[in-house]
Structure 1
Amino acid sequence: MKELSLTERFALIGLNGKESEHWNLAKHYVLKAIAVASYLEDSYDSVSDTWRFDAGGIHKATKKKRMKAVEKEITARLMKKHMLRKVKSLLGCDLFYNGNIKIKEYVSDSKEFENQIDFLRAEFLEDGPVSEEGMILVWLLKNSFCINEAFSLPEQSKIDKKIGEL
């Protein structure tokens, strides 16, 4: 597993299969969560091992203009690391061929995607402590509605139970 930032880890999971060229509701929630992850990273004080953030900062981070900037930044970083790419969508190949509408979607490196999911499975579905990073990643997955792409309903119940015990 390569060393990735919190934002990169979430983006790898959240952007996988999302349309890259156009704005839609699913992508909106993922980009909102990526913007929050980026804000949280910037708000972390490694010296005192504390998070310094507030509601106003999160609100600023999730403005549409900021989310678009974060999308460009994070996708460029992941593409440079060969962990994310844009491919033609099968939907676009068929449905919009005659209308000359190009639909592309993000596709994450499958091995790294699985590594990130396995990390979360180990944290939440096995005995042992849960890291702050694991908690934040699951929170981001839930709030971006991507949790169903990573975990089955019984697994989600176990995750909720473990979070409730913390």
Structure 2
Amino acid sequence: MMDLKLAPSFSLIALNAQRSLQMTTVKKVSLRCMAAAVILELYLEGCFTQSENKLTLHKEALDQSYSTLYRETVLQPLLHNSAEVTGDLNWWLKKASRKSNHQLKKFETAISDDLQAMNLLEDIPSLIGSDMYFDSAEVEIRAYRSNMEAYTSITENMRAEILEEGPVTDEVICMLWLLRECGCMQDFFSLNELEQVNIKLHDLYQSNLWAKALFPIQIRQGVELGIKRFLALKTKFAKTFIGSSLNLIFPALERSRAVFIETESWFDNSNQRLDAVITRLMSYGHEVKVLERGSIATLKIDNLLYDAIPHFVMMKVPIQGVRLIPKRPL
């Protein structure tokens, strides 16, 4: 697996399963953090001239061989026609992340094109488009899928550094901060593990100069992150026993995540029903792996885990299928 810089590595995590054609609120949060990751990437590579707590970036940085289009889309609005720009780390991160929708889209195109050129990102039909209840109003719904090997490598290496004893690299410190700012720490750590993560964050802040400089900075935007957390709250509710039951009855409760995939035939055997749904999903271009079978199977679909619950709905005729409920670490 190729050695990726910080911004592309974080982008593979942040863009996975995001809608590729629509600018959703959740994707805005991710893109703002991805833009901040560009600044951190430049800092780690020594592209800034530092004097006390001030960081100076010279315009020549855009012209050097290590410049890329995704970096340029972040830096050009900051540099304008100036030969150099100076600010502290807090200023740089907030300026980079607070972009207009037009600038965010331009940045998204630049970095997604870069990742697709490396065969690390694909644009596929969104899983929600397979939901029997979903009405797209004839709007095409597509989503990003990160290369599964790269996605697993990045997330597992990060988890290992945080949860195991030993030193933590500056890159992983940046990853932790970025996950915190985009509000998706719980996507990669269980509730029990989050307690360990909090302890690790505190210890790093006390003992690591880079963490001490970075961790107090907040770039999150209240309204956008609030909406994202509200959506996450609905998702969390639908994972409880009562929430899951309600979600089967009222699928609109978690419209953005839970999906019902109907089968084209009637099966007496739940395994046959599951296999039929898997075959259908794979025909749409999704990568599906069965991690566990049983009354409630566990599937890995495009890097994300789902509980697959056999279900049928009563319409003019009974319709069999499988309800896919997003599953986070336990």
TM-score using structure 2 length: 0.46
| 2:177 match | 139
> 1:67-86 residue pairs with structure 2 within 5 A?
67-86=104-123
Amino acid at match of 2:121: L
Contact kept, 8 Å, 1:92 with 1:101, in 2: the verdict is: no
Which residues of structure 2 form unaligned runs of 5+? Answer: 56-87, 205-330
* SS of match in other structure, 2:166: coil
**Letter of the aligned partner of 2:166 in structure 1?**
G
Bigger share in strand = 2
Corresponding position of 1:114: 152
Classify 1:43/1:92 alpha carbon distance in 2 versus 1 (closer, same or farther; 3 Å). Answer: same
1:158 maps to: 196
Paired residues of 2:42 and 2:48 also in contact (CA < 8 A): no
Q: What are the within-5 Å matches in structure 2 for residues 79-98 of structure 1?
A: 79-94=116-131, 95-96=134-135
Between 1:48-57 and 1:36-45, the stretch displaced more is 48-57
Tell me how many residue pairs correspond in the alignment.
165
Task: Give the secondary-structure state (helix, strand or coil) at the position aligned to 1:100.
Answer: coil
- The structure with the larger Rg is 2
Partner of 2:10: 10
SS in 1 for 2:145: strand
In the superposition, relative to structure 1, how do residues 45 and 79 fare at CA in structure 2: closer, same or farther (>3 Å)? closer
Pair 83,43 (structure 1): closer, same or farther in 2 beyond 3 Å: same
Cα RMSD of the aligned pairs, angstroms, is: 2.2
1:165 alignment partner, SS class: helix
Aligned partner of 1:104 among 136, 142, 149: 142
4+ long deviations beyond 6 Å:
47-51
Task: After TM superposition, give the deviation of residue 42 of structure 1 in Å.
Answer: 3.0
Which AA in structure 2 matches 1:151? F
In structure 2, the residue matched to 1:36 is 36
Percent identity of the aligned residues?
A: 30
Matches of 1:137 and 1:106, distance apart in 2: 20
Query: Which residue number in structure 1 is paired with residue 222 of structure 2?
Result: none
Aligned mates of 1:130, 1:158 — CA distance in 2:
14
- Which structure shows the higher helix fraction? 1
Contact 2:40 2:174 in 1 (8 A): no
Aligned to 2:89: 54
**TM-score under structure 1 length normalisation:** 0.88
CA distance in 2, matches of 1:112, 1:77: 15
- 1:66 — aligned with what? 103
